[in-house]
């Protein structure tokens, strides 16, 4: 902003709480969760969900494990009313799930709400009215504090009467009250109005009231929100008869942090939506808070083990999109483009495999650089973790070749392969797919057969007293055939001697590795040969063939060809 614009704003006042306790606390158990996707989330959609879409979303929320679901504002429209009636009349609400309905503290709306709830086994009636100075002055035309309290008291009196009638017919009704705009309401006034509601409802430890303290607008830093929650809980009468509930928004981008600190400050319950859908910058993202707890070893009662399916249903029914960088659910959150990140991730997975083998079935604590959780635990796959573009490094490319195609490249081969392939990505100006990476590996580093190739070869084992191997081979060099022969302590060494005998050896063989290709054809083997030229140039070549011996010869020839090309 320009300086003249900034001068219109004022700091948000702090809470006087010098002996605050929440900074020394930790979240040790999950709160009560309440999804408001079907109400707060739905109201914020450019195109609200149809009844069929709301039914699908309701079933998704039940499947995830929500036991409290705010299903709408049934007094606001026929669609909302009919949706709740359908849930009840078609017996779609599981026995252990409580539906929640929102209603303003107005008589005709409250009565209509209870009509919609007729026959519900368990329901929360969520009564609210605005309480902040800004709302009192602007929305209610300089209304007095007393008049706002009177609205809440009259609404609670009617809810109490109608709840008794509903309970006489077999329904269980829980009262929830929200001083809307709690986040910028005077704390002593918010406490006064909530206790006025409690005096009418008369909660007990066995029949608690829910006091929902919404950050309807996020005005402050998360620590101030935590101070508000702790202050309120410490001053509240009959605290053991109250469930303190949080309902944060994300105007300042810290809705998750405000909720986590609010739980440390003593809150018992959390309202929010999947992926943070909601007014303006959104409601609390329950997916993030729940998985944050999982990442610290806490069970939450919510199951996001198949997060891609949750995301698919959410995006289809809401027509919203989960941003690529959204925690846990975003397309790119388990993707590393940085070469150093890719290398560390690969090393982390490799070490974890070793640790798990050594643990012999015992649980190994999670620990992979740059990954706070195991992507598999939420239905993501390792194949999506590393992507290759011009910013990638040697480790990431080796990771793709290993995990996707089964080629376990020697460590000292990584730089040569990595440099070539990420230069290719740079030339193309785009990301390379795993198949393109494999194809580039074969084009530049495996089974390269020009200018030399092996046409035929024959091995005689256990030759002479020392049991050596004789290699007779037919090769083509620059299109011309020639026969070569050599004797060595193994097939590769014998072939090297054959090249030496033919005057084609200007190198030393300094490394050789081989393995079966994991995940490929059962008959495929891979071999890797490192050659050092007389001028100290070092080159790696790879060979792939059903025969392990032939794979080794192809690797040697490949490395010879790459060395010859480098010398041109």
| The pLDDT of residue 385 | 56
| The pLDDT of residue 506 | 86
| The pLDDT of residue 389 | 66
The tens digit of pLDDT for each residue in 296-326 reads 999 999 999 999 999 999 999 999 999 999 9
Query: What residues does 32 pair with on adjacent strands?
Result: 269
Listed in sequence order, the residues at least 6 apart from 270 whose beta carbon sits closer than 8 Å to its beta carbon are 31, 32, 33, 34, 245, 246, 247, 259, 263, 284, 286, 289
Q: CA-CA distance, 235 to 7, in Å (whole number)?
A: 35
| The pLDDT of residue 431 | 82
CB-count exposure of residue 342 (10 Å: 0-12, 13-18, 19+): buried
| The pLDDT of residue 519 | 65
Smallest Cα–Cα separation from 417: which of 347, 343, 348, 505? 343
| Mean of per-residue pLDDT scores for the chain | 93
Six token digits for residue 475: 């090769």
Strand-strand pairing, 538-545 and 525-533: antiparallel
CB-count exposure of residue 107 (10 Å: 0-12, 13-18, 19+): exposed
- 414 among the known binding-site residues? no
Six token digits for residue 521: 């054809």
| The pLDDT of residue 168 | 97
Mean pLDDT of 116-143: 96
| The pLDDT of residue 215 | 97
- 129 among the known binding-site residues? no
The tens digit of pLDDT for each residue in 443-481 reads 999 999 999 999 998 988 878 777 788 999 999 999 999
| The pLDDT of residue 382 | 55
Taking CA atoms, 248 is separated from 37, 136, 285, 341, in Å, by 14, 21, 9, 34
Six token digits for residue 21: 């306790």
If one counts every other C-beta atom within 10 angstroms of the C-beta of residue 510, the result is 12
- 533 among the known binding-site residues? no
The tens digit of pLDDT for each residue in 197-243 reads 999 999 999 999 999 999 999 999 999 999 999 999 999 999 999 99
Smallest Cα–Cα separation from 286: which of 566, 60, 528, 544? 60
Q: Where are the alpha helices (DSSP H) in 477-518?
A: 491-501
CATH topology of domain 20-318: TIM Barrel (3.20.20)
Give counts: helices (H), strands (E), the chain: 18, 14
Q: Is the pLDDT of residue 274 over 80?
A: yes
Smallest Cα–Cα separation from 486: which of 477, 495, 474, 476? 495
- Under DSSP, the state recorded for 37 is I
Q: CA-CA distance, 412 to 55, in Å (whole number)?
A: 56
Which residue in the block uniquely carries the two structure tokens 């995006």? 315
Q: CA-CA distance, 428 to 405, in Å (whole number)?
A: 22
Q: CA-CA distance, 554 to 549, in Å (whole number)?
A: 9
Q: CA-CA distance, 142 to 119, in Å (whole number)?
A: 41
Mean pLDDT of 39-66: 96
- Rounded (10°) angle between helices 51-64 and 307-318: 160
pTM over 0.85: no
The tens digit of pLDDT for each residue in 13-23 reads 999 999 999 99
> Which residues of the chain are in CATH 3.20.20.70 domains?
20-318
Smallest Cα–Cα separation from 454: which of 364, 557, 323, 321? 557
- 40 among the known binding-site residues? yes
Six token digits for residue 357: 């083998």
Q: Is the pLDDT of residue 434 over 90?
A: no
Classify domain 452-567 at the CATH class level: alpha beta
Alpha-carbon torsion angle 173, 229, 130, 211, nearest 10: 10
Alpha-carbon torsion angle 105, 111, 114, 115, nearest 10: -150
The backbone region for 508, taken as left when phi is positive above 0, alpha when psi lies in -120 to 50, beta otherwise, is beta
If one counts every other C-beta atom within 10 angstroms of the C-beta of residue 271, the result is 29
- Under DSSP, the state recorded for 185 is S
The tens digit of pLDDT for each residue in 507-566 reads 999 999 999 997 655 568 999 999 998 778 899 999 999 988 899 999 999 999 998 888
Q: Is the pLDDT of residue 388 over 80?
A: no
> Which residues of the chain are in CATH 3.30.160.270 domains?
452-567
Contact 357, 350 (CB under 8 A): no
Listed in sequence order, the residues at least 6 apart from 187 whose beta carbon sits closer than 8 Å to its beta carbon are 15, 228, 231, 232, 235
What's the pLDDT band for 425 if we cut at 50, 70, 90? confident
Strand-strand pairing, 122-130 and 98-104: parallel
Strand-strand pairing, 242-248 and 269-272: parallel
Listed in sequence order, the residues at least 6 apart from 331 whose beta carbon sits closer than 8 Å to its beta carbon are 322, 324
- Which helix (H) or strand (E) segment holds residue 247: the answer is strand 242-248
What's the pLDDT band for 138 if we cut at 50, 70, 90? very high
Between 421 and 258, whose confidence is greater? 258
Q: Is the pLDDT of residue 387 over 70?
A: no
């Amino acid at each position: 902003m320009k300086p003249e614009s900034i001068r219109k704003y004022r700091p948000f006042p702090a809470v006087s709480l010098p002996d605050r306790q929440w900074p020394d606390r930790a979240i040790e158990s999950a709160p009560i969760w309440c999804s408001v996707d079907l109400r707060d989330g739905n109201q914020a959609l450019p195109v609200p969900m149809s009844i069929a879409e709301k039914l699908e979303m309701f079933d998704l929320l039940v499947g995830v494990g929500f036991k409290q679901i705010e299903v709408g504002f049934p007094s606001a429209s026929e669609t909302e009313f009919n949706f709740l009636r359908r849930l009840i009349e078609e017996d779609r609400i599981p026995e252990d799930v409580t539906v929640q309905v929102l209603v303003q503290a107005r008589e005709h709306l409250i009565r209509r709400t209870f009509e919609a709830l007729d026959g519900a086994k368990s329901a929360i009636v969520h009564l609210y009215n605005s309480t902040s100075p800004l709302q009192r002055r602007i929305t209610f035309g300089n209304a007095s504090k007393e008049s706002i309290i009177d609205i809440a008291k009259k609404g609670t009196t009617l809810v109490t009467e109608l709840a008794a009638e509903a309970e006489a017919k077999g329904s269980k009704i829980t009262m929830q009250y929200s001083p809307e705009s709690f986040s910028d309401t005077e704390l002593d006034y918010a406490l006064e109005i909530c206790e006025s509601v409690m005096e009418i409802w008369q909660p007990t430890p066995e029949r608690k009231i829910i006091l929902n303290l919404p950050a309807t607008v996020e005005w402050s830093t998360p620590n101030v929100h935590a101070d508000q929650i702790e202050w309120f809980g410490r001053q509240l009468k009959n605290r053991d008869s109250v469930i303190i509930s949080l309902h944060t928004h994300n105007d300042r981008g810290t809705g998750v942090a405000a909720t986590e600190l609010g739980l440390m400050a003593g809150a018992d319950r959390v309202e929010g939506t999947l992926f943070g859908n909601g007014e303006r910058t959104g409601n609390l993202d329950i997916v993030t808070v729940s998985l944050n707890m999982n990442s610290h070893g806490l069970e939450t009662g919510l199951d996001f083990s198949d997060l891609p399916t949750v995301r698919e249903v959410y995006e289809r029914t809401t027509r919203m999109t989960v941003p690529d960088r959204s925690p846990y659910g975003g397309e790119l959150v388990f993707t590393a483009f940085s070469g150093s990140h890719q290398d560390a991730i690969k090393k982390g997975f490799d070490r974890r495999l070793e640790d798990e083998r050594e643990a012999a079935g015992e649980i190994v604590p999670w620990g992979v650089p740059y990954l706070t959780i195991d992507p598999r635990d939420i239905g993501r796959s390792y194949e999506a973790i590393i992507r290759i573009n011009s910013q990638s490094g040697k480790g990431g490319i080796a990771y793709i070749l290993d995990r996707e195609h089964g080629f376990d490249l020697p460590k000292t081969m990584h730089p040569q392969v990595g440099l070539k392939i990420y230069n290719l990505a740079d030339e193309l100006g785009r990301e390379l797919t795993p198949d393109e990476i494999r194809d580039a590996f074969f084009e530049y580093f495996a089974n390269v057969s020009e200018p030399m190739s092996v046409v035929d070869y024959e091995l005689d084992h256990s030759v002479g007293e020392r049991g050596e191997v004789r290699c007779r081979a037919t090769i083509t060099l620059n299109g011309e055939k020639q026969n070569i022969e050599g004797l060595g302590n193994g097939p590769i060494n014998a072939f090297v001697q054959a090249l030496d005998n033919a005057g084609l050896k200007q190198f030393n063989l300094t490394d050789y590795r081989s393995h079966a290709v994991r995940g490929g054809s059962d008959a495929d083997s891979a071999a890797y040969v490192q050659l050092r030229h007389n001028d100290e140039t070092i080159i790696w070549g790879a060979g792939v063939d059903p025969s392990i011996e032939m794979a080794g010869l192809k690797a040697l020839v490949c490395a010879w060809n790459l060395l010859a090309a480098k010398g041109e």
